Amino acid sequence: MNSPYTDTVRGAMAVCIAYRGSKEWQAVKAIRTRVFIEEQNCPCELEWDKYEEISRHVLGSVDGVPMAAARWRLIAYEQRPTARLERFAVLKEYRGKGYGKALVSWVIEDARRAGLGEYLLHAQLRLEAYYRSLGFDTVGDPFEEVGIPHILMRRHDSDALR
């Protein structure tokens, strides 16, 4: 995990880019399998999608133990370049300690460094207030995705790099 893309946030959590085929990528897959497929019963064929290849995958670790994952990718939203934030997963034993919030912040900052200032995500409806606390606004009505109620949420940073 000693790559030039490793940062330490929230004290003990190290965050790095997980390149496909690396040991970090294997850890991302294991975390997403545990959280989405095993805990939330998401079908395997829906978890692993056509966007894996074009997404930037991120791994969070505490004391060298992989415990969180996320990805983001570039999309066009309302004819503007936007970062689509996806697949935020924190292992159960690490939840409630601020690691998820730190991971969201790290991913937003990574997208900001890429020159983006618009962020979009499909939040599980039960997490709407959580994402609101991170600066996201609700867009539209709830919908179902993989059998779980979701809501479209958006954040705009006026100070993003242009």
% pLDDT > 70, the chain? 90
Give the domain extent around 102: 7-156
Domain assignment of residue 81, yes or no = yes
3-class secondary-structure state, position 85: strand
Domain assignment of residue 67, yes or no = yes
Q: Which residues contact 91 (CB under 8 A, 6 or more apart)?
A: 31, 34, 35, 67, 68
Beta bridge partners of 138: 153
Residue 124 phi, psi (nearest 5): -60, 135
What per-residue confidence (pLDDT) applies to 11? 52
Can you tell me the mean pLDDT for 96-105? 93
Burial class (CB in 10 A: 0-12, 13-18, 19+), 156: middle
The domain total for the chain is: 1
> What value does the mean pLDDT of the chain take?
90
The enclosing domain of 77 has a CATH number of 3.40.630.30
pLDDT greater than 80 at residue 54 = yes
Domain assignment of residue 126, yes or no = yes
Among 3-7, 69-73, 111-115, 120-124, which stretch is predicted with the lowest mean pLDDT?
A: 3-7
Domain assignment of residue 162, yes or no = no
pLDDT greater than 70 at residue 141 = yes
Domain assignment of residue 97, yes or no = yes
Can you tell me which residue has the tokens 């618009």?
118
pLDDT in tens, 15-24: 999 999 999 9
